[in-house]
Amino acid sequence: GNSVTQMEGPVTLSEEAFLTINCTYTATGYPSLFWYVQYPGEGLQLLLKATKADDKGSNKGFEATYRKETTSFHLEKGSVQVSDSAVYFCALPGGDSGGSNYKLTFGKGTLLTVNP
Amino acid sequence: SQTIHQWPATLVQPVGSPLSLECTVEGTSNPNLYWYRQAAGRGLQLLFYSVGIGQISSEVPQNLSASRPQDRQFILSSKKLLLSDSGFYLCAWSVGEETQYFGPGTRLLVL
């Protein structure tokens, strides 16, 4: 089945610091990979995605590259802002016991706090 | 563009009372629809998904049920709430199997 392991944190940074949140996956084949962000009290928002190996997803200054050789999809941002404080989830289709790709399997989430 | 609505936004219910949470999607036809629960500690658990009217798949056995009476309406219900049903309930939609888009959520507190 498919699974994802995500750095749990919490991560605390100062404004303008460099961010990396690690995500590695186990999957059958080469599924699409996603990063979602959840701001306090809100639902999840799709941050970026990559659909095949070596693809780079990017949005709002965040980037992640689909690395099949290391089965990783690490999230990076060169200079974080206070407004980036949120919980970040790595995800891929499929479940840990196989079955339908209708299910998204999520990492446990990484809480990022950015201080001014 | 597509939008997804959930209501109510917040709900406080006594143990043993019934529950009905509603989710509607606008701007798309025949979406796949999903209910997730997010308990304290942030993990997301898929409860139900639906690929069409009247078609419901359950991921986790529990005292909750789901229904899809219309193409873009998804309802989460319970006949008798338990304390353990407290959490943040998220509805999502997708076209096909991949990218899912989430609603604003309903925060449920069972006392």
Residue B47 identity (one-letter amino acid):
L
Give every CB contact of residue B36 below 8 A, 6+ residues apart in sequence. Answer: B44, B45, B46, B47, B89, B90, B91, B92, B102
Tell me: the pLDDT tens digits for B26-84? Answer: 999 899 999 999 987 768 888 999 999 999 988 876 789 999 999 999 999 999 999 99
Tell me: the pLDDT tens digits for B73-85? Answer: 999 999 999 999 9
Supply the pLDDT for residue B15: 97
CB B102 within 8 A of CB A45: yes
Residue A97 has pLDDT above 90, yes or no: no
First to last CA, chain A: 42
**What distance in Å separates the CA atoms of residue A67 and residue A27, rounded to the nearest whole number?**
13
Distance from CA of A90 to the nearest CA of B (A): 11
Supply the pLDDT for residue A10: 94
Chain B contact set for A43 (CB, 8 A): 6, 90, 102-105
Exposure pattern of A13-50 as b/e (b: 16+ CB <10 Å)?
beeeeebebbbbbebeeebbbbbbbbeeeebbebbbbb
Residue A47 dihedral angles phi and psi, to the nearest 5°: -95, -50
Supply the pLDDT for residue A99: 53
Q: Which of B98, B101, B28 is nearest to A36 (CA)?
A: B101
Task: Tell me the average pLDDT across A91-101.
Answer: 69
Tell me: the pLDDT tens digits for A22-81? Answer: 999 998 888 899 999 999 989 999 999 999 999 999 999 999 999 999 999 999 999 999
Residue B2 has pLDDT above 70, yes or no: yes
- pLDDT bracket for residue A103 (50, 70, 90): confident
Residue A98 has pLDDT above 60, yes or no: no
CB B4 within 8 A of CB B102: yes
Q: Which residue has the higher pLDDT, B106 or A3?
A: B106
Helices (H) and strands (E) in chain B, counts: 0, 11
Interface touch B98/A93, C-beta < 8 Å: yes
Residue B83 dihedral angles phi and psi, to the nearest 5°: -55, -40
Chain B contact set for A32 (CB, 8 A): 98-99
